[in-house]
Amino acid sequence: MIELRHISKSYRVQHGINVVLDDVSVLFPSNRNIGILGLNGAGKSTLLRIIGNVEPPDSGEIYKDVIVSWPIGFTGGIQPEMTGREGTRFISRIYGADIYDTENFVEEFSELGRYFDMEVKTYSSGMRSRLGFSISMALDFECYLVDEATSVGDRRFREKYRSAFMERKEKSTLIMVSHQASTIIDFCDMAAVLKDGKLVLFDSVEEGMEVYGENISAEKRH
Amino acid sequence: MEFVKPNLSDALLAICRVNFALMLRETKTRYGRLQIGYIWAFLEPILVISVLSVVFKYIRMREMPGMPLAQFLISGFIPFMLFRDIVTQSMTGVRRNLQLLYFPQVQIMDFFTARTLLEFSTTLVVFPTLVFLVAFTGYENVIVHDILGIFLGLIMISIFGFGIGIGLGALVPLFPSLQIMVQSVYLRPLFFLSGVFFTIDMIPEAVRPYASLNPILQIIEYIRSSYFVTYESTYVDFKYLFFTILGTLLVGLLLQRAFRRYAYRI
C-alpha cells in the first residue's frame, strides 16, 4: 500500500508558476495494478518520481509498506558513459543485491548481446528501456513504477516483459503512467486520472477511461 | 495502519552501499575519458615533483632547512593536490552524476562524500608510493618521523576541501561560471600561497602572520613537522585550524541546504 497525504508540487516557469500536484491525497492499495492517465504535461511523470522518492514534493508526505522500484522509463538512471554491464553492477550494488546473479539475469533477459558491454549512450531508446527494465526485473521489487517504458521496444520484447509482469503479479504490483490507453487496459485493473493538479482514483479502468476520454475531447475543443 | 519507518542501521547501510558503488564508479572515470585514467593519480605528482626538484636543485640552488628536497616537495604537493582535487571534483560531481539521482537511495551528498573518500584513499596509496620510490632509488635518505601526524594532517585537509567543495558544489548549478573562476582565481594562486615549495620561515617576517591565515599552509606545515624529525613549525595553531575547518564545513552544509534543489534539474 502506498499512501500520499497532501502532496503538492509546482515548478517555476517563465511566466508564473505551473502547479503539477495540488494537495493530492490518495491511497493505492497493494493488490491492484494502477494506471495513471493524463494528458501530456499533466505531471504524470512527476507524480511517479515523487512516489519513487526521486524528487521531493514541495509539501506533504508519502507512506509505503512495500519496496518500490525507481521509475522505469526511457532514460532514467543509467549514466550515458556507463556500459550496460557497469550500470547493472552499479544498481545491484546500491540495492545490495548479488552482483553476479543480477548481471547474468540482465545479460540474458535484456537480449542486448554485444551492446551489453558498450556505453549506454550508443543505445537506442528501446534498448535503453530494455536494459532498465531487465535490471528492475532482476531486483524483485514489490511495486514497480513504470513510466511509459512499455510503449517502446519491439513487439517481441514487449511480449516478453508483459509475460514477466504477469508471472509476478502474485507478489508484485504495478503503478504505470501512460497516455496510451491501450497499455493501461493491458496491464492495469484500476485507473487514476490526473488533471489540473488533482488526482482522481477509479475502481475500474473503464471508469477512468471514460473520464480521461472526456478530458481529451475537452482539450481538443480548445 | 502500520508504516515502515526507516531505521538508522538500514539507512547507514544504504549510505555505505551507495558510497562504495560511487567510489568504484568514479575510480574508472577519475580523469574523464583519458585512457591513462587512474595512473594519472601517480604520474601527475611524480612529474610535478621531478620538475620542481630540477628547478630547485640546479636553477634556484636552494637547500631546504633540514629537509631533503624531494621529500620536502612530496610532503607539500601531495596534500595540496588532495585539497585541489576534492574541490575541483566536487564542483563537477553533481552534474556528472545527475542521472544517478534517479535512484531514491542516492543523495546529492553521496557524490561529495564518495569523491572525498576516493581522493583521500588515493592519497593514502600515492603518498607512500612516492616516498618508497625515493627510498628505493636511493635518491635520498628516508626517515619518516610521525606517520600518525601526517595521517591527521591529510584528514584535516580533506575535511577542509570537503567543506569548500560542498559549498561551491551547491553554488555551481546557479552560477556555472563560478567553476572557471575558482580554478583560476582561487586554486592557482593558492598553489603558490600554500607552502608547497617554501616553508613559512623562508618568507619575510612581516607577511608571515597573514600567510599563516591560510589553513592549507598551516596543515602543510604540520604535515612537514610530523614528517621530518628535523623540522618543527611554530606556525601551527590547532585551535585556529579546528575552528576554520568546522566553520567552512558548516557554511558548506548551509549552502547545500539552501541551494540543493537547484541541482535537481534532471
CA distance B234 to chain A (A): 47
| Residue A157 burial (C-beta neighbours within 10 Å; 0-12, 13-18, 19+) | buried
Q: Which three cell numbers stand for residue B46?
A: 611524480
- The domain locations on chain B are 8-263
pLDDT in tens, B193-203: 998 888 888 88
Q: Return the pLDDT at B266.
A: 41
| A to B CB pairs, distance under 8 Å | 58
Give mean pLDDT, residues A102-114: 92
Cβ contact (<8 Å) for A54 and B102? yes
Check pLDDT > 50 for residue B140.
yes
B3, B25, B264: residue with CB nearest A90: B25
Cβ contact (<8 Å) for A70 and B25? no
Give mean pLDDT, residues B23-30: 80
Provide the ipTM: 0.79
Cβ contact (<8 Å) for A52 and B104? yes
Cβ contact (<8 Å) for B102 and A94? no
Residues of chain B with C-beta less than 8 angstroms from the C-beta of A55: 264
The answer, for A86 touching chain B at a CB cutoff of 8 Å, is yes
Assign B221 a pLDDT band (cuts: 50, 70, 90). Answer: very high
Residue with cell 626517515: B143
Q: Return the pLDDT at B1.
A: 35
pLDDT in tens, A173-215: 889 887 777 778 888 889 998 888 888 888 888 888 888 888 8
CA distance A183 to chain B (A): 24
Assign A172 a pLDDT band (cuts: 50, 70, 90). Answer: confident
CA distance A151 to chain B (A): 20
A53, A79, A94: residue with CB nearest B18: A94
Q: Which three cell numbers stand for residue B178?
A: 563560478
- The CA-atom distances, in angstroms, between B16 and each of A55, A193, B9, B184, B208 are 21, 39, 10, 34, 42
The percentage of chain A sitting over the pLDDT mark of 90, rounded to a whole number, equals: 18
Residues of chain B with C-beta less than 8 angstroms from the C-beta of A90: 21, 24-25, 100
Among A33-37, A104-108, A162-166, B102-106, where is mean pLDDT lowest? A162-166
Cβ contact (<8 Å) for B106 and A94? yes
